[in-house]
Structure 1
Amino acid sequence: MIENLQSFTESLPPLLQWVGVMLAGAIPFVESYGGSVLGILAGVNPVVAIAAAIVGNVISMLIFVLTTSRVRTAAVARRDKPDSPRRAKLRERFDRFGVPGVSLLGQTVLPSQITAAAMVSFGASRNAVIGWQIVSIILWGVVFGVLGMVGSDLAGYGV
């Protein structure tokens, strides 16, 4: 899949390659960290690749969060039963790490779109989730973009 995304990005006219990187960054499990590396390896200017991957990931995450927020609001309005034991256990873990911890570390396990939607479904503030997810997406995108630049230099691809 990564090779196909890279080929797609390389096939675009140079002025539109950032669009390919942005689309890749919007895909769960590719996200800002994968999209930035993919763009760099496809020959996109590193700053443009990182920024485009971040923007794609943020837009995708916002769609997930805003949709989940609306669904949760409707579900809570009709819900009178207590949490199941499994959901209570998940909520306990969420409460232990909070929005910042889950946002910053959650991407090591699940895509930002899924972790953000889960936090909103647990009742976390939509704005807090969005803010911390944006911080996390930027952080992960920049770190992996820099690693991608260093790796491509070491591999002889040059940036």
Structure 2
Amino acid sequence: MIENLQELTESLPPLLQWLGVMLAGAIPFVESYLGSVLGILAGLEPAVAVAAAVVGNVISMLVFVLVAARVRTAAAKGRGKPDSPRRAKLRERFDRFGVPGVSLLGQTLLPSQITSAAMVSFGASRNAVIGWQIVSIVLWGVLFGVLATLGVDMLAVAG
């Protein structure tokens, strides 16, 4: 899938390659971190690649959070269904680490879209989740963008 996204991005005219990276960043499990790498490998300037991946990831996460907030409001009236094992595990981590911890560390296990929607469904403040998720998305995108840039630079020196 990543190779297909990279080929798609590289096939776009140079002025639209950032759009391909932004769309890739909106995909769960690709997000800002792999979207940044994808953009850098496709030849975009690192700052443009990271910014495009972050914007795509943030827009996607916002959609998930806003939908989850509406669903929670509607479902709160008649909740009685037990949590699935995966949801119970996420709730346990949410109770232990709170919104900041789950936002910053959650992307190591699940996409930001899923963790953010789950936190809102657990009753976390929508605005707190959005704020911390944006911080997390930016940090992960920048970290992987820097690593990709260093890797590309090392390959250029070695070649």
TM above 0.5, yes or no, is yes
Task: String of CA shifts for 1:81-140, please: whole Å, max 9, x gaps.
Answer: 485696666534311110000000000010000100110110100000000000000000
Residue 75 of structure 1 corresponds to 75
Distance 1:43 1:130 in 2: 30
Gaps of 5+ in 2: none
Gaps of 5+ in 1: none
Distance 2:20 2:34 in 1: 12
SS in structure 2 at match of 1:77: coil
The CA RMSD over aligned residues, in Å, is 2.0
SS in structure 1 at match of 2:156: coil
One-letter code of the match for 1:41?
L
Residue 61 of structure 1 corresponds to 61
Q: Would the alpha carbon gap of residues 5 and 90 (structure 1) be closer, same or farther in structure 2, given more than 3 Å must change?
A: closer
One-letter code of the match for 2:66?
L
SS in structure 1 at match of 2:27: coil
TM-score by length of 2: 0.92
Residue 42 of structure 1 corresponds to 42
Task: String of CA shifts for 1:53-92, please: whole Å, max 9, x gaps.
Answer: 000000000000000110010000233x485696666534
Contact preservation (8 Å) 2:93, 2:102: no
SS in structure 1 at match of 2:119: helix
Equivalenced residues, count: 157
Residue 101 of structure 1 corresponds to 101
* Percent identity over paired residues: 78
Residue 125 of structure 1 corresponds to 125
Residue 143 of structure 1 corresponds to 143
SS in structure 1 at match of 2:76: helix
TM-score by length of 1: 0.92
